[in-house]
Amino acid sequence: MNAVTRFAPSPTGKLHLGHAISAIRSHDRARADGGHFLLRIEDIDGTRSRPEHVAGILEDLRWLGLAWDGEVLFQSARLAAYAAALETLKARGLLYPCFCTRAEIAQSLSAPHGPIAAYPGTCRHIDPDRRAARLAGEEHAWRIDMAAAVASAGPLAWTDEIAGSHRADPLAQGDVVLARKDAPASYHLAVVVDDAHQGVTHVVRGADLRAATDIHRLLQALLALPTPSYRHHPLLTDADGQRLAKRNGAPTLAALRADGVDGPALAEDLRAGRLPIGFALPSA
């Protein structure tokens, strides 16, 4: 089967070397068997996405010698598809509105055992009349009732091309948000709807998104969408093993480009595991 892969950056900042590795791996996975490499701009977060970052991303990819196939897909143009998916899940009784503020959630999570990651389920227990009244007048997000969703979907697994078959455990992540107060869909919902829409067969992305794949697998089951195969690659770190991020000084691709670095030569070095001094890539 010819692989269809995608690179799906969020245009909330400049790309750095870690993004380059992700884009190269996704691109090469498609090219290895004559497939297609797609580019999707994940710009549903209207408050943080910037057009100048979109332009920078396209320029970075061209500079690295990574040509994508077809038109660029912008998530901001796909809101109707996310709304339809939300309606499907609502109609199945798997979503509930959440009125909590960030501060309220943080407070309820600062339990004696230290912070836990999952939402405590406060708004799941609001009685129906009160919920209807609040829905009419208050800003709200939509959360998935994870226990109900997992019960409805039954046991699920997904396959990582490197690590093999993996039993999905979305319950561990609690009632995640599928539509935010300030954005009409969450990352989880949009990515699942769009991977299916674009016919993506192989998702190649960083290991930081491995846990998210459990949620994505569940949403695919609930929305009757196909499940791609996955490949989560290790994240680039600094020499001390710290994950690279803009805040700890990862060089942006734009800066390397401006310094006159040869893009295709850099891409070849990254493919061969030859990293700039001060960087490391743990093996899978």
Rounded to a whole number of angstroms, the minimum distance from the CB of residue 253 to ligand GLU is: 14
User: Of these, 3, 20, 191, 253, which contacts ligand GLU (CB under 6 A)?
Assistant: 191
Name the one range near ligand GLU by CB under 6 A: 3-11, 85-93, 128-136, 146-154: 3-11
Rounded to whole angstroms, the Cα distance separating 100 from 104 reads 6
User: Of these, 14, 15, 42, 45, which contacts ligand GLU (CB under 6 A)?
Assistant: 42
Q: Are strands 237-238 and 202-206 parallel, antiparallel or unpaired?
A: unpaired
Q: Does 189 contact ligand GLU by CB under 6 A? A: no
Check 14, 90, 181, 246 and give the catalytic one: 246
Nearer to ligand GLU, 97 or 170 (CB): 170
Residues 6 or more apart in contact with residue 203 via CB below 8 angstroms: 5, 6, 195, 213, 228, 229, 230, 231
Q: Does 214 contact ligand GLU by CB under 6 A? A: no
Q: Does 209 contact ligand GLU by CB under 6 A? A: yes
Rounded to a whole number of angstroms, the minimum distance from the CB of residue 8 to ligand GLU is: 4
Active-site residue flag, 90? no
Rounded to a whole number of angstroms, the minimum distance from the CB of residue 50 to ligand GLU is: 14
Q: Does 10 contact ligand GLU by CB under 6 A? A: yes
Rounded to a whole number of angstroms, the minimum distance from the CB of residue 105 to ligand GLU is: 22
Name the one range near ligand GLU by CB under 6 A: 7-15, 46-54, 157-165, 261-269: 7-15
Rounded to a whole number of angstroms, the minimum distance from the CB of residue 190 to ligand GLU is: 9
Q: Does 8 contact ligand GLU by CB under 6 A? A: yes
User: Of these, 4, 9, 178, 219, which contacts ligand GLU (CB under 6 A)?
Assistant: 9
51, 82, 205, 224, 227 from 197: Cα distances, Å: 23, 11, 18, 12, 12
- Which residue ranges make up the site for ligand GLU (CB under 6 A)? 8-10, 42, 191, 205, 209
